[in-house]
């Protein structure tokens, strides 16, 4: 079985490999964890989608949520329990 990747996903992955993708590094105090949210092609699209991700964390009971937007190459792991 062959899975086709959409052109946006290929471009996002290529941009990530080059360190041009936009990511949000999200740290939570309780539970103590770091989440990497991305990759995104534009900072704008990251900001638009980040709102929902942060709401999900809050709804799950996470507290002391802080985030930083960075442009970088990020690979696994995308979640680190501190």
Query: Residue 1 domain-assigned?
Result: no
The stretches of 6-70 forming alpha helices (DSSP H) are 7-17, 43-59
Query: Residue 44 domain-assigned?
Result: yes
pLDDT single digits (tens) 20-54 = 999 999 999 999 999 999 999 999 999 999 999 99
Domain of residue 30 covers 21-81
The Cα 36–Cα 39 span in angstroms is: 9
* pTM for the structure as a whole: 0.84
pLDDT single digits (tens) 51-81 = 999 999 999 999 999 999 999 999 888 899 9
Burial class (CB in 10 A: 0-12, 13-18, 19+), 59: exposed
Query: Residue 68 domain-assigned?
Result: yes
Look at the chain and report how many structural domains it folds into.
Answer: 1
Angle at 13 between CA 10 and CA 16, to 5 degrees: 150
């Amino acid at each position: 079985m062959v899975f086709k990747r959409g052109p946006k996903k290929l471009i996002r992955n290529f941009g990530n490999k080059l360190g041009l993708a936009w990511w949000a590094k999200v740290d939570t105090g309780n539970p103590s964890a770091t989440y990497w949210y991305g990759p995104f092609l534009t900072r704008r699209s990251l900001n638009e989608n980040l709102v929902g991700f942060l709401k999900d964390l809050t709804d799950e009971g996470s507290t002391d949520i802080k985030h930083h937007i960075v442009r970088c190459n990020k690979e696994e792991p995308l979640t680190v329990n501190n």
